[in-house]
Structure 1
Amino acid sequence: MKFWQFLQDQILGMKWLNALIGNGLEAMGIDTGGRIGGSIQFFVYDVLKITVLLCVLIFLISYLQSFFPPERSRRILGRFHGIGANVVSALLGTVTPFCSCSSIPLFMGFTSAGLPLGVTFSFLISSPMVDLGSLVLLMSIFGARVAVVYVVLGLAIAVIGGTVIEKLHMEREVEAFILSARSGELEVPRQSWRERVSYAKEQMLGTFQKVFPYILVGVGVGAVIHNWIPERWIETILGGDNPFGVILATVVGIPMYADIFGTIPVAEALLAKGALLGTVLAFMMAVTTLSLPSLVMLRKAVKPRLLALFIAICTAGIVAVGYVFNTIPFLT
């Protein structure tokens, strides 16, 4: 138990870094107990912490992802049928890119390759919602129990959503150019460990360059919430006194665009100010899974009816997860 607490607080949460930054700021004459000093400490600490976790996680997951290029993933998925294929597809989604916009090209490639539509949608739902990075980052803030349950419920949404789409036979709702672009068999290149390391390094640097601006914005918003917005405001809007807080957080999160790294500091600040855990997690899921840019991209591949069904399934699942976390004391 002490080991897991140490892992969460000092390795993943890097509380030692927070204390170090606080001591450094105070040595410079900055009052970290005040709003301005507290905001500076929150900003520096969260930017450094998330940057370190971002680089380490992306490097490790990209190295793992090098074993599952699109063609190999397609072959793996092609061996399974029924709900088993949806489960495997959702699990494969955990080792793919971190944001929904990056997942859509893979979804389009899988669909063009002739994989069942429900299977490809299970992948599309799980990829941004429950990747391995989200598991580690959630552990750093909320603990292992919350992180594991979050991932399990996210995978359940992906499997159920893909199964529903498969049962409704929505193939006609896919744009014709996707269905006509059937790809043939491609040779999966063998890579040495040096090539895999080089690939992981390139992915890390490329993703960092794209994600870092969102980290700065997310941490900045989190610092404002943490030190400037009165606690009673957050409790009134997103606390236990508002039964519609989960729905509100989901609706607010959908138009935004960020990934798990940009939403973590906002979620952390909201939770510290009295927002319910399920409400915060629903906000994070909505931002990472149903961002407006990703929906615009997805509309190019599917027709409005299928797009609306995808949004409805994800929204219903996210709201359900939020209320599960808010109503079960074991999870808080």
Structure 2
Amino acid sequence: MEILKSIGIFIQEQVLGMKWLNGVIGNVLSSVGLDISSRIGGSVQFFIYDVIKITVLLCFLIFIISYIQSYFPPERSKRILGRFHGIGANIIAALLGTVTPFCSCSSIPLFIGFTSAGLSLGVTFSFLISSPMVDLGSLVLLMSIFGTKIAVVYVIVGLIIAVVGGTLIEKMHMENYVEEFIRNASGVDIESPDLTVNDRLIYAKEQVIETFKKVFPYILVGVGVGAIIHNWIPEDLIQMVLGSNNPFGVILAVFVGIPMYADIFGTIPIAEALLSKGALLGTILSFMMAVTTLSLPSIIMLRKAVKPKLLGVFIAICTIGIILVGYMFNALQYLFI
């Protein structure tokens, strides 16, 4: 048992967390005369280390996930979802969301396509919620920062929010609140060509390049903010605003996160820095969920597809679910850290 535990710690810290890389960067910076124990030196070390670590993991994960995605084009996903009914369909839609685009703005075109193809509204919303909030990439990246237990629970809770949210929208029968041009669109069922292994590898490589170009600026911003929090903002201030002394920290984190636009890769370095400064786990996870699921640009895009009442219901369900998850993680933090 101890051997397995040691292997798990090694994988988390040295393979996923790349702690060795942090040491190498520290030695290099020290050799050129930069004091890494100072605020400036610590910020530079944090920035370089996290940018390299997240970029390497990002490219590797996108390649693997994109290869898997090549087996689930929209046409096939639609047929898979069409075979299920009731809550089972919501569960399958949420699971499919884990192997689809990495941000909500990329998920919305698929959501529109599924809706216009005649899939039930609740099922498509389960997909829309889970796609940016939980994916295989976020699972591995969260493991590298927070450990396996927190990462797995985060993904499970995210899937529950997606299933419950889609089910509630289904029960409310809000089909008439989808914009007319989508409801009246006729779905075109085009068979995807059979891809060879080489075709899938090329597709995965192209997705790595395309996603990297789109995501890398947010990684730089997220790591930059994380470096500032980690080395310049007093720990007492973070604990006062986002720690146990503020019972409204979760709500504050959610409403701060909503106007932002980033993805899981841009929010993780911020979350890492906040956790090291004493912010509560649930508060941090709520912030991450709000940024990835309820970002203002994605809400604006979704408004083009649905009417205000349905959009309001979607926002309310996600917000309430994320806040409840935050308080739950805060109350049970002792089990995870």
TM-score bracket for the superposition, by shorter chain length: over 0.9
Instruction: Report the equivalent of 2:95.
Output: 91
2:260 pairs, out of 256, 260, 277, with 256
CA displacement at 1:181 relative to structure 2: 1.0
Q: Once the two structures are superposed, what CA deviation does each residue of 1:37-57 show, in whole Å capped at 9, x if it has no partner?
A: 000000000000000011000
Matches of 1:129 and 1:272 in 2, distance apart?
23
Instruction: Report the equivalent of 2:294.
Output: 290
Matches of 1:280 and 1:253 in 2, distance apart?
10
2:190 pairs, out of 186, 189, 197, with 186
Matches of 1:9 and 1:30 in 2, distance apart?
25
Letter paired with 1:248: L
Instruction: Report the equivalent of 1:6.
Output: 10
CA displacement at 1:331 relative to structure 2: 2.6
Aligned runs of 1:1-332 on 2, under 5 Å? 1-328=5-332, 329-332=334-337
Q: Once the two structures are superposed, what CA deviation does each residue of 1:175-218 show, in whole Å capped at 9, x if it has no partner?
A: 00001112132112110000000000000000000111111111
5+ residue gaps, structure 1, are: none
Choose 316-325 or 112-121, whichever is displaced more. 316-325
Letter paired with 2:97: G
User: TM-score under structure 2 normalisation?
Assistant: 0.98
CA displacement at 1:280 relative to structure 2: 0.5
Q: Identity across aligned pairs (percent)?
A: 72
CA displacement at 1:84 relative to structure 2: 0.2
How many residue pairs match? The answer is 332
Letter paired with 1:330: L
RMSD: 0.6
Matches of 2:157 and 2:58 in 1, distance apart?
23
Matches of 2:8 and 2:77 in 1, distance apart?
33
Matches of 2:289 and 2:189 in 1, distance apart?
35
Q: Once the two structures are superposed, what CA deviation does each residue of 1:92-151 show, in whole Å capped at 9, x if it has no partner?
A: 000001100000000000000000000000000000001111100100000000000000
CA displacement at 1:324 relative to structure 2: 1.0
Q: Once the two structures are superposed, what CA deviation does each residue of 1:255-301 show, in whole Å capped at 9, x if it has no partner?
A: 00000110011100111111001101100000000000000000000
CA displacement at 1:330 relative to structure 2: 1.1
Matches of 2:288 and 2:188 in 1, distance apart?
38
SS of 2:244 mapped into structure 1 = coil
User: TM-score under structure 1 normalisation?
Assistant: 0.99
